[in-house]
Amino acid sequence: MKNWTVIFKTINKKRGGYLNYLRYLTNEKHSNHKAETHKIINGSKSIEDYFIANKRIMDEAHYKQIKNGKGGRPPMSFGCSVTINLPIYINDEKKLNKWKDKLLKQFYKDICKINDDVDYNNISYTKWKKLVFANFHIDKEAGSKTQLNLVIPHYLPFLKNKEITSKFWSKDEIKYTYDTKKIDISQKKYSYIMKKINNDITKKVLGLDILKYEFKNENLGKRKPKREYQNNKKEQELKQKEEKLKQREEDINKNEQELIKTKKVLEREIENFNNKVLDDETIKTYISRIEKQIKEQKSIIEIEKNMTKLKNRAKKVENYNLLM
């Protein structure tokens, strides 16, 4: 079966993975969304609103599981990401929202058909639709010029009971009770349904027929062999490395020149400082003090020499007296 590009992926890492993915889809400053031609069309609800609504249903389902004595771990995944890419540029929000709403409504109907214990009705559909995150990315120059991003929960809320209490003095009171059914949206049967629905609705709403559309290869020549592709890749990597090395060499040369300049400046400053020192009176007085100290040391040495001479003479006199 021919179809436009439709990708299903389970969102892992619990609440962190869910919130990070929604932040990525709505972030206009992300490197993948920075192109001037790239435009993001978000809904009216915030990321936190979707998170709180899905978390509440997951907690209710887990509480029901424990209450029934089944136990088990709490749910790990918040849902499944669905990406639908079209090769035509559509910048009409009304058209895009109409396409999205019809897709989701038909998808919910078909889910109810597959699951026998769930019946379709508008009330349960509106409750489920509030849990589904959706936004558009459109870009004239990209390969997929129009992209619909969906995050569909694994829990399907449905209407369990509808109670009508009639009172003769006032209007009838209607009470609804809901239940949830856990389904794995990432299964192949659901992706098959979405692909089939998408082909029909793009034809009806957007006037785009997959069978009549001729895909145009933009800037594509003959397919290169693997070795040639790898060699070209290596050549590009080598060129990048060579450019980086050249840049480093230039930086080193610049640093060396700056060092030489700073060295010369320092030498000049030292010369000037030395010249200043010779003229400074405080330094001269310091030199005179040192000279005095040297003289005093010399005199001490002379006194010690004279003392030794006297001692030697005294010894000679004593020896002479003993002989007499």
DSSP string, 240-292: HHHHHHHHHHHHHHHHHHHHHHHHHHHHHHHHHHHHHHHH-HHHHHHHHHHHH
| Residue 160, helix vs strand vs coil | strand
| Helix H or strand E segment including 171 | strand 170-182
- Least confidently predicted of 3-7, 123-127, 141-145, 276-280: 276-280
| Residue 48, helix vs strand vs coil | helix
Structure tokens at 207: 């006037």
- Least confidently predicted of 41-55, 234-248, 274-288: 274-288
CA distances from 38 to 45, 97, 140, 145, 251 (A): 21, 18, 7, 9, 37
Over residues 222-279, the pLDDT tens digits come to 556 666 767 777 888 888 888 888 888 888 877 777 777 777 766 776 666 566 555 5
Tell me the percentage of the chain whose pLDDT exceeds 70. 69
